[in-house]
Structure 1
Amino acid sequence: MQIAIPLFNGVTPLDVAGPYDVLARVPGASVVLVGAEKALYRDEYSSFAVEATATFDEITKPDVVVVPGGPPEAVGPACQGPIPAWLRAVHPSTRWTTSVCTGALLLGAAGLLVGREATTHWAGVGVLRQMGATPVAERIVTHPDERLMLAAGVSSGIDMALALVAKLVDDERAQCVQLALEYDPAPPFDAGSPAKAPKAVYEKMCVELKAQL
């Protein structure tokens, strides 16, 4: 089973690494990082890099695609680059096409979300709406008939990947992976969503993240 994760400059590291570490533990799975070129792709701070070992031309029939996100200044150009066209080409034959965080905007740019409920990072729901999707405040949104699964902001990519393992294998394997990773969240603050965060924190992050609500 081939699982492809497309890369672009400015990508959020955890959007890649979280699902990767989950899905690489699926028996028989081979996870490939793919890009326009075989090269290093750096995060928004230019201090973390991941390497694409294959190009989009080489990966034409992946079984699963996981599209990571990034900040607006990275995702905007990526939506104008080769990833949307690649997604349109490979999606008809995937078992699942998925996204994490603002990776949903790349699915939107590929035309895969028109008229469908979708989730993304809370700061990007306005852009998602402009792309013809119906944003919903859910951590994971699944469209089995269309083989689409979307995760909300960054950390939810791990949740999505575990749900995906359950679809690809079974619940027991997903629980085994969860246990192996000791994924048992107990954050020190209950401020992980706009509905829970203090108003001052929410307003500050709207500015910092250039939220498009």
Structure 2
Amino acid sequence: MSYQFITRADLPTQYGDFDIHVFENEQGQEHVMLTVGLPLVEHQDIKNNPELPPIPLVRIHSECLTGDAFASLKCDCGPQLQTTMQRIQEYGCGALLYLRQEGRGIGLTNKIRAYALQDQGHDTLEANLLLGLPADARVYDMCRPMLAHVGVNKVRLLTNNPAKVDYLTNLGIEVVDRVPLVVGVNALNSAYLSTKRDKMGHIIDSDLTVDFKP
């Protein structure tokens, strides 16, 4: 699977200023990376350790139209995206890899079909399997060339999913720290998060404290 860099530009946001980089794979699928403080500058001023070049704070975030754009309460994707942007800005060095693989890789239409099955009482894993789809069809091969473009081969990874640590490690990227990202818990997605914890191996506190009740 091959990827090529297309272009970059400045992206001012409510969280701060990012560099936005666009990549394209051989199928014409576009992936985006937001960066702050990359490529690394030796002895860059970073509040956690001003004497050494920092290890970038990185998140791999798969596209979720319903959560990222429409603020769906069925998942935690929107709050994870927003919190990641905020934390990378606060840290001063990092990257958000926004991968275009909706619905854990099954696509938007199948994701909404799975939502309909969840409305009938099935959990997120059962819904995918009932549709004859894999529990998780995402791939992460694109992460290596995207990170290499800004000179990154060592990261602090924002994730609750230990499989992402394994994926990056197998790609030759050193994960020096897994940083938890449990945010946006509400009364409508707590069961979804429990399924990810109990059936899909995500590391999430057993006590899922609801942040708010819609």
User: TM above 0.5, one fold?
Assistant: no
Greater strand fraction, Structure 1 or Structure 2:
2
Q: TM (normalized to structure 1)?
A: 0.33
Which of the two has higher C-alpha Rg?
A: 2
Q: TM (normalized to structure 2)?
A: 0.33
Greater helix fraction, Structure 1 or Structure 2:
1
